[in-house]
Amino acid sequence: MDGKLKTPMQLREIIVITDGRSNIGDSPAGAARIAHRKGIIVNTIGITDSDGAEEPFVELDGIARAGGGICDIIPLPRLGYSVQMVTRQSIQMTIERAVSRQLQKITGCSMEDIPPDSRARVLEYIQRLGDEVDLKCVVALDCSGSMKNKIRTAKNSIQDLLISLKARKGRSYLGMVAFPGGDGRDSRVVSTFTDNFEELAVKLEGIKAGGPTPTYAGIMLSSRLFEEDNLGLYPAEMIAQRQIEAGEHLPQGGNENPFIL
Amino acid sequence: MIKRINIEPGTVIRGRWYGGEYRVIALLGSGGTARVYLVEDIPGGDRYALKLSTDMAGIDREYRILARLGPMDNIPAVLYRDDCRVGGINCYFFVMTYFEGENLKRVCEAKRMQPKTLVKIAAVTAGICLWLNRRGVFYCDIKPENLVLDKRGGGLCLVDFGGAVKEGEAVVQFTPAFDRASWGRGQRTADEGYQGFAILMMLAEMLLGGLRDTGMGFDALLDTIDKSQLSKGLKKVIIKGLKKDCQSLEDLINSLSNTADLIPGGKQRRRQRLDVAINLALLASIAFFIMVIAVIL
């Protein structure tokens, strides 16, 4: 966390999509904090059955806070829109924070303390960066029993997110984790990072809903997807998939984040 | 964040930097990250629309785009921007012209519009977009809700520039029904083909209604249009346009104008006054845009 912006820059985001509280495993906010320390932003989207009922979603707000991300609570029909907005705004916010911190260091004042007319040029720069930066994003999808009738919409939203991300100037890769993972596993990698729409669509087909809501495990596995990727010696996607599926212990340390905030 | 912001009518919004003061009269609309209020300035009492958001970059972007375009009849002109605090939360806002009137979605819901009028509206929308494109601004969130029939000027106004981008950039704000990517018909990037698709979808939706569910799939959509009561020529223009991936707005304007001429419009015994007024206003706009295009070319 030394506030340096290194190039080539790559943003790392996790988006947790769920319709309820975690009911098995450790505190999900703890997992988000661990991920955030590694330079990953954790965002949350909560699906409500009725508009405005935010009570069960205090936990999601806590996860987003601990993960340095955004929390959005929405009814199911707005999921597609929300997934895109949260991703886009999270990218923007992450860069904004980094630039703002630099600004604070250099000039002693934050973006808030600059009149809008002078701020414009910095914001323009931030916006351009937001479109040009490379992005790796993992969607962690709640596949518990209560999600049964929401899975279809969720799948469509995830595919649609990739369409939107591919329109950016920077490269974008989407990964996907399901929690629980089916067959008694608390989580599973559905797809490692890919920018191939068809490939993702095929893998999404295999998702089925059922079981409890192990949000902690979902976030932990999502952040591990990035770690594996950091090794960079082999096609990272393949190693991650193989090792995670085999449940092997993952090597720790020695991985430097290409993008440190 | 924006959900936590609640401004009651009568509240005064005070700019932090440039001293502007605006009294809130009513909430005009709210979107994903922003709210638009009808306000009057203090002490003048003139009415404006004020867009407020917690998204600093978003407000700055939209203000910048509108400020660069400058005043023009069919788009809002911006006159002030500043920061403010609402309920302990930092907010950002700008003030723009208020178009008194209804958006096309409400107009269509309230009364049956003549096909001829709707086709002309689509042509004018394409004209406004083309004019904006030539100035480097690609307006992409084209839908009936974002087009306002101005009561005073009688013209068609494009509002909400939050989704305007440069050519070739990713479209960030869209509505699935009018978004070609949601129908599986191309990328979600700003170009004339994207806009053409949205305009034709908007036209089809205004003419027929019930086309907003992209779940039906593109083929079923075309089928619905093909089996509708619309005139053959009009169907052909819409279906051909939707099918063809890339289409220039100029071609679209031409084919829409030609189709509009062929649709009988004067046969109804009692033509409604609004239709006549709109037709006159649109004719003037079309003439203006053809002139503008001719000058540019």
ipTM of the modeled complex:
0.73
Q: CATH no. for residue A99? A: 3.40.50.410
Tell if the CB–CB gap between A167 and B55 is shorter than 8 Å. no
The CA-atom distances, in angstroms, between A98 and each of A104, A116, A259, B158, B273 are: 10, 19, 11, 35, 57
Neighbouring C-beta atoms of residue A241, cutoff 10 Å: 18
Highest mean pLDDT among A72-76, A205-209, A219-223: A219-223
Number of H helices, E strands in chain B: 8, 9
Query: Which residues of chain B does A116 touch, with a Cβ-Cβ cutoff of 8 Å?
Result: 17, 60, 63, 81-83, 92
At residue A40, the pLDDT reads: 94
d(CA B59, CA B94): 7
Contact B282, B156 (CB under 8 A): yes
Q: Which of A30-44, B90-104, B148-162 has the lowest mean pLDDT?
A: B148-162
Number of compact structural domains in chain A: 1
Q: Which of A89, A93, A157 to mutate to probe the B interface, most B CBs <10 Å?
A: A89
CA nearest to A74 within chain B: B32
| Cis, peptide link before residue A116, omega less than 30° from 0 | no
Q: Are residues B197 and B86 in the same domain?
A: no
Strands A10-18 and A41-48: parallel
Are residues B44 and B38 in contact, defined by beta-carbon separation less than 8 angstroms? no
The answer to whether residue A108 is domain-embedded is yes
Which structural domain range is residue A57 located in?
A: 10-222
How many Å lie between the alpha carbon of A242 and the closest alpha carbon of chain B?
33
Tokens at A134, concatenated: 């490379």
Residue A260 in any domain: the answer is: no
**Are B170 and A131 a contacting pair at CB < 8 A?**
yes
pLDDT at A259: 39
Please compute the mean of the pLDDT values over residues B78-86 and round it to a whole number: 95
Q: Which residues of B touch A97 (CB under 8 A)?
A: none
Chain B residues 243-272 with a CB less than 8 Å from chain A = none
Collect all residues of chain B within an 8 Å Cβ-Cβ radius of residue A123. Answer: 56-57, 60-61
Tell me whether residues B83 and A112 touch, CB distance under 8 A: yes
Residues of chain A in contact with residue B80, where contact means CB-CB under 8 angstroms, are none
pLDDT in tens, B173-212: 899 999 999 999 988 999 999 999 999 999 999 999 999 9
Tell me how far apart the alpha carbons of residues A54 and A51 are, in angstroms, rounded to a whole number. 8
Q: Is residue A192 part of a domain?
A: yes
* Any domain includes A78: yes
- Which DSSP symbol is given to A182? B
Q: What is the DSSP string of B206-264?
A: HHH-----GGG-HHHHHHHHHTSSS-HHHHHHHHHHHHSS---HHHHHHHHHHHHHHS-
The DSSP bridge partners found for residue A191 are A176
Q: How far apart are CA B136 and CA B125, in angstroms?
A: 17
Query: Residue A81, Cβ neighbours under 10 Å: how many?
Result: 18
Residue B185 touches chain A, beta carbons under 8 Å: no
Of B97, B112, B134, at which residue does a domain stop? B97
A80: helix, strand or coil: helix
CA angle A156, A159, A165 (to 5 degrees): 135
Distance of CA A191 to the CA centre of its chain: 14
Please say if the pLDDT value at position A250 is more than 70.
no
- Of the residues B92, B188, B214, B216, the best mutation for testing chain A's interface (the one with the most A CB atoms within 10 Å of its CB) is B188
- From chain B, the residues in CB contact with A164 under 8 A are 170-172, 181, 188
Q: Residue B142 pLDDT more than 70?
A: yes
Q: Which residues of B touch A172 (CB under 8 A)?
A: none
Distance from CA of A144 to the nearest CA of B (A): 24
pLDDT for position B276: 62
Q: Cβ neighbours of residue A249 under 8 Å, at least 6 residues apart?
A: none
* Yes or no, beta carbons of B170 and A127 under 8 Å apart: no
Q: Are A167 and B169 in contact (CB < 8 Å)?
A: yes
Residues B140 and B195 in one domain: yes
Mean pLDDT of B277-281: 67
**Same domain? B285 vs B247:** yes
Kindly report the backbone phi and psi dihedral angles of residue A81, in degrees, each rounded to the nearest multiple of 5, phi listed first.
Answer: -65, -45
Chain A partners of B171 at a C-beta cutoff of 8 Å? 164, 167
Q: How close is the nearest chain B Cα to the Cα of A138, in Å?
A: 20
B170–A89 CB contact, under 8 Å: no
The answer on pLDDT for A56 being more than 70 is no
Q: How far apart are CA A212 and CA B270, in angstroms?
A: 64
* Residue that is last in its domain, among B77, B97, B117: B97
Using a CB–CB cutoff of 8 Å, tell me whether B67 touches chain A: no
The residue from B29, B62, B97 where one domain ends is B97
Domain coverage including residue B291: 101-296
CB contact (8 A) between residue B18 and residue A115: yes
Q: What is the pLDDT of residue A235?
A: 41
pLDDT digits (tens, 9 = 90+) for B87-128: 888 999 999 999 998 899 999 999 888 999 999 999 999 999
For B26, the token pair is 């009513």
CB of B213 less than 8 A from some CB of A: no
Among A234-243, B171-180, B284-293, the least confident range: A234-243
Q: What percent of chain A has pLDDT over 70?
A: 81
Per the listing, tokens 């009692």 go with B270
**B270, pLDDT greater than 90:** no
CATH code of the domain containing B151: 1.10.510.10
How many domains, in total, are found in chain B?
2
Q: What is the CA radius of gyration of chain A?
A: 18
Q: Based on the domain organization, do B91 and B199 belong to the same domain?
A: no
Find, in chain A, the residue whose alpha carbon is nearest to that of B85. Answer: A112
Q: Do B181 and A111 touch (CB under 8 A)?
A: no
Q: What is the mean pLDDT of residues B51-57?
A: 91
| Residue B212 backbone dihedrals phi, psi, to 5 degrees | -85, -10
Distances (CA, A) of A222 to A189, A229, B55: 8, 11, 28
Beta strands in A76-212 (DSSP E): 134-142, 172-179, 188-194
Q: Touching check for B60 and chain A: CB below 8 Å?
A: yes
B141 and B217 inside one domain: yes
**Residues B199 and B83 both lie in one domain:** no
Residue B136: Cβ within 10 Å count? 13
What does the pLDDT average to over A15-42? 94
Which positions in chain A touch B64 (Cβ < 8 Å)?
120, 124
Residue A111 and residue B81: Cβ atoms within 8 Å?
Answer: no
Task: Give the chain A residue nearest B4 (alpha carbons).
Answer: A52
Same domain, B244 and B291: yes
One domain for residues B237 and B106: yes
CA distance A14 to chain B (A): 19
Task: Collapse the DSSP code of A199 into the 3-class scheme (helix H, G, I; strand E, B; otherwise coil) and give the result.
Answer: helix
Alpha-carbon distance of B296 to B284, in angstroms, equals 18
The two most distant CA atoms of chain B are separated, in Å, by 60
User: Is the CB of residue B6 less than 8 Å away from at least one CB of chain A?
Assistant: no
CA distances from B34 to B6, B52, B131, B289 (A): 12, 6, 26, 31
What is the least distance, in Å, from the CA of A195 to any CA of chain B? Answer: 14
The answer to whether A167 contacts B60, with C-beta atoms less than 8 Å apart, is no
pTM value is: 0.81
User: What would the mean pLDDT of B16-44 be, rounded to a whole number?
Assistant: 92
Residues B251, B143 share a domain: yes
